[in-house]
Amino acid sequence: MGPFEYLWLTVFIIFVFIAFVRKYPNELGTMTLIFAALFLITYIGVPKLPAILDKIFIKLLGAPPTPRQEEHLLASIFSLTFIGIIFASYAGQTFSFKGSPASGFKGFLFTLLVGMINGYLIAGTLWFFQDNYNYPITDFHLLYLPLTPLGETIANYLPPYVVPPAFWAILMTIMLLFRVRK
């Protein structure tokens, strides 16, 4: 396979295309749910789940997981939870903002911007789960390290590294206020 960042660039581009199909009012609703997911995972899950896993392993197996087992479990649990939330936010009756999208270039620009933000949040968060837990996916030989210099630079700007956990709740609250305003 190629450099690690190519996969995440592909995911980013896919979500930009999805935005063009759904238009920005629907994508703003998805963005709100992404903020909620990021808050729950980074504020509650990342700090508390390792201790919970240790207790479960000790109770069931009599010993805590090895560090690499824990990295695999945490990256998998957070990735699958995040993917599930993202899937739910796109499937069926979606949470969207009222109104119809602007027409012409203005609508195109808004949709592009919101799609790029959602793509960055989704692809960047999934990459964060790998980076934060020492790239457990490489143990399956699906992707390879080391990261390229570009990949290392991008990895420093992944959403959970750039935005403090509590700030996701503030962003979600702001989006909800915009959603319910009359």
Summarised one tens digit per residue, pLDDT across range 149-175 is 999 999 999 999 999 999 999 999 988
Q: Is residue 9 one of the residues assigned to a domain?
A: yes
Q: Is residue 80 one of the residues assigned to a domain?
A: yes
pLDDT at 45 over 80: yes
Highest averaged pLDDT of the listed ranges 64-68, 93-97, 123-127, 141-145:
123-127
Cα–Cα dist 131/136, whole Å: 9
Percent of the chain scoring above 90 in pLDDT: 60
Q: Is residue 100 one of the residues assigned to a domain?
A: no
Mean pLDDT, range 15-28, rounded to an integer: 90
pLDDT tens per residue across span 86-128: 999 888 767 767 767 667 888 899 999 999 999 999 999 999 9
Domain span at residue 68 reads: 4-93+107-180
Q: Is residue 111 one of the residues assigned to a domain?
A: yes
Mean pLDDT, range 67-94, rounded to an integer: 91
Mean pLDDT, range 56-84, rounded to an integer: 93
Q: Is residue 61 one of the residues assigned to a domain?
A: yes
Q: How many domains does the chain have?
A: 1
Q: Which residue has the higher pLDDT, 5 or 127?
A: 127
Which H or E run includes 85?
Answer: helix 67-90
Q: Is residue 40 one of the residues assigned to a domain?
A: yes
Q: Is residue 101 one of the residues assigned to a domain?
A: no
Q: Is residue 160 one of the residues assigned to a domain?
A: yes
What pLDDT sits at residue 2?
Answer: 63
